[in-house]
Amino acid sequence: MRASPRGMTRPTSGFLLRPIARVAGGFSASSASIMSQTTTTYAKRTLSTTQPKCLSLDNINQNIRGAKYAVRGELAVKAEEYRRRLADGDKSLPFDSVIFANIGNPQQLDQKPITFFRQVLSLVENPLLLENQDALKNSFGYKQDVIDRAQTLLANVQSVGAYSHSQGAPGIRESVAKFIEERDGFSANSQDLFLTAGASSGVSTLLNVICNDADAGVLVPIPQYPLYTATLALLNAKCVPYLLEEEKAWGTNVAAITQSVKEAKAAGTNLRAVVVINPGNPTGASLTADDIKKVIDVAAEEQLVIMADEVYQTNVFEGEFVSFKKRLRQLQQEYPGTYDAVELVSFHSTSKGMVGECGHRGGYFELVGFDPQVQEQIYKLVSIGLCPPVVAQCLLETMVNPPRPGEPSYELYEQEYNGIRDGLHKRALALYDAFQRMEGVECQKPQGAMYLFPTIHLPAKAIEAAEAEGRAADEFYCLKMLDATGVCAVPGSGFGQKEGTFHFRTTFLAPGTDWVERIVKFHTEFLNQYR
């Protein structure tokens, strides 16, 4: 009954990243891992038929095939396998626990959710609980402000089971606007806010709008969170990398950006946007107000949309977080007219910070200086997906509008929030100290986010051994580390790095510090073996 296989469809342009001359390892990151679950090995299953199918690897959307995302690699699979073996009682491994330091997923690593948030969410999920407030208070310790908040949210959304406005419930957007105003000291308009299912979906939306053809290019910092390169690949647009300055605490180097702009233009790229991740992922860097101004200057000069990924804005240990919006508004006041046309989008999330509610998929983006007609198209685009998860919208509201001093839930909230913050800082410093003690390892002092991204100077013999296995040297190192310690980190090649340098990224989310000592011991042994 089947017709003979049709002629193969002409694939679209295939691999989409421009070759990056100065960046080694690219974004292939075959062994890197952002997520730590078991992966399904489809490819190993055999086809049940020899008849031709419509879809094959060669005739699906080749942009998808070309996209790289460091998720399903060897390291994560191996780590999950080790976890299972330990759970099954296997005593043959040289460690007694697997540490998933490869992904910013705090509640996987036993970070407790903040009580106020979850109490409110339990009530919006089951409003019938509100019919016995005495029992809520007496048997479960719910405070009046929890009950009040749940009632306010329910009045806003009617039911968390009903579709909301596609931009998010208006009342919740009002709360977010107030939060931004308090943070920056400049006004925010709820009409310019779009609630999202995590920051990732917002980034995808914006890149989708911005990338108008195959010549469109977006400046992306290197190292970067691979969402950006993957999404650009899906959109058949060009990633234009600019290197961050490791020696200056991973700051932005305006000369590097300018150079990338020049080269991209010479290559015929239509530059449209610049991505900044602040605080940085994977670098952990926190940008100064001056660094931020430099980026805004380039954007104003080159007429680029600024995409400010600010999901780690509360994860700042050194100095103070300055938002791009605040800095832009300051510049607009200081130099009237000069910065008026700048277009900025800022992303935030419920997944990071001390909230760490990754699984809820909440977040928002704020548009600043966008053409209203463009904004209307963005609205249409998001409306096709109907609305972000309403429970996550409620969670976002509690995040931006937490209990205030004097309110019944404040004390516990403050205690939990500070406990998480201090724990993160303490573990970051312990890790940093450990890296200081490790030969051939250099690490910037922890400034923010959830990661450290040390340079590792690897002996020539180790690099040769890696090459013999067809691996990047830092990938080889991370695999050996996992085998020896149970600690799963991500090699720098998963994020991009300067040619000839090697790094790995580790979160400092895992409880305790014994796993840090495992890394130190492994490192010494590794060096001794390959010296």
Regarding 343 and contact with its own copies (CB under 8 A), the answer is yes
Strand partners, 243: 222
Q: How far is the CB of 64 from its own copies (least distance, A)?
A: 5
* Residue 359 contacts its own copies per CB under 8 A: yes
Helix segments in 185-334, DSSP class H: 198-210, 227-234, 254-266, 289-302, 324-334
Rounded Cα distance between 425 and 390, Å, is 32
The H or E element containing residue 363 is: strand 363-368
Closest approach of its own copies to the CB of residue 44, in Å: 7
Enclosing H/E stretch for 24: strand 23-24
Say how many residues touch its own copies, by CB under 8 A.
Answer: 134
Side-chain-facing half-sphere of 336: CA atoms under 13 Å: 0
What is the rounded CA–CA span in Å between residue 188 and residue 197? 21
Minimum CB–partner distance for residue 302 and its own copies (Å): 7
In the complex, the smallest distance separating the C-beta of residue 322 from its own copies, rounded to whole angstroms, is: 21
**Shortest distance in whole angstroms from residue 59 CB to its own copies:** 6
Q: Site map for its own copies, 269-308, x if CB under 8 A?
A: -x-xx-----------------------x--xxxxxx---
**Closest separation in Å from C-beta 473 to its own copies:** 25
Residue with tokens 């990398």, as numbered in its chain: 241
Q: Which is nearer to its own copies, 59 or 259 (CB)?
A: 59
Instruction: Give me the least distance between CB of 349 and its own copies, in Å please.
Output: 11
Only one of the segments 176-184, 194-202, 248-256, 482-490 lies at the binding site for its own copies (rule: CB under 8 A); that segment is 194-202
Instruction: Indicate the residue among 169 and 438 with the shorter CB distance to its own copies.
Output: 169
On the CB side of 146, how many CA atoms lie within 13 Å of its CA? Answer: 26
Q: Which is nearer to its own copies, 86 or 429 (CB)?
A: 86
Give whichever of 180 and 395 is closer to its own copies, judged by the CB atom: 395
H/E element, 221: strand 216-222
* Secondary structure (3-state) at 175: helix
SS (H, E, C) 92-104: CCCCCCCEECCCC
CB contact at 8 A, 89 and 78: no
- Under 8 Å between Cβ of 476 and 470: no
Task: Rank residues 324 and 530 by Cβ distance to its own copies and give the closer one.
Answer: 324
| DSSP alpha helix (H) spans, 34-188 | 62-66, 74-87, 115-125, 133-140, 144-157, 170-184
The least CB distance from residue 69 to its own copies, in Å, is: 5
Kind and range of the H or E run holding 23: strand 23-24
Tell me whether strands 216-222 and 270-277 are parallel, antiparallel or unpaired. parallel
Q: Return d(Cα 454, Cα 505) in angstroms, integer.
A: 7
Part of the chain binding its own copies (CB under 8 A), chosen from 15-23, 43-51, 453-461, 523-531? 43-51
> Quick one: 120 or 431, whose CB is closer to its own copies?
120
Write the binding mask 440 to 459 for its own copies: x where contact by CB under 8 A, - elsewhere: --------------------
For residue 435, give Cα distances in angstroms to 75, 445, 528.
21, 10, 17
Site for its own copies in 83-122 (CB under 8 A): 103, 105-108, 113, 115, 118-119, 121-122
**320 backbone φψ class: left, alpha, beta (φ>0; ψ -120 to 50):** beta
Strands 238-243 and 504-507: unpaired
Choose between 78 and 118: whose C-beta lies nearer to its own copies: 118
Binders in 465-524 for its own copies, by CB under 8 A:
none
From residue 232 to residue 271, the character string flagging contacts with its own copies as x (rule: CB under 8 A) and all else as - is --x-----------------------------------x-
Burial track 320-330 (b if 16+ CB lie within 10 A, e otherwise): ebbbbbbbbbb
Determine if 374 is a binding residue for its own copies (CB under 8 A): yes
β-strand partners of 216? 270
Nearer to its own copies by Cβ, of 61 and 415: the residue is: 61
> Given the complex with its own copies, which of 58 and 247 has the nearer CB atom?
58
In one-letter notation, the amino acid at residue 315 is N
User: Could you say which of 18, 22, 28, 35 contacts its own copies (CB under 8 A)?
Assistant: 35
- Single-letter code of the amino acid located at 163: Y
* Residue 491: cis peptide before it, omega within 30 degrees of 0: no
Phi, psi of 309 (to 5 degrees): -85, 100
Question: Which region, judged by CB under 8 A, interacts with its own copies, from 68-76, 252-260, 287-295, 322-330?
Answer: 68-76
- What whole-number distance in Å separates Cα of residue 91 and Cα of residue 78? 16
- Report in angstroms how near the CB of residue 390 gets to its own copies at its nearest: 3
Residues in region 115-174 near its own copies by CB under 8 A: 115, 118-119, 121-123, 125-129, 132, 135, 139-140, 157-167, 170
**Using rule CB under 8 A, residue 528 touches its own copies:** no
Instruction: State yes or no: residue 44 binds its own copies (CB under 8 A).
Output: yes
Residue 422: CB minimum distance to its own copies, A: 20
x/- map, 400-439, its own copies, by CB under 8 A: ----------------------------------------
One of 19, 21, 42, 96 touching its own copies (CB under 8 A): 42
Stretch that binds its own copies, among 383-391, 420-428, 476-484, 491-499 (CB under 8 A): 383-391
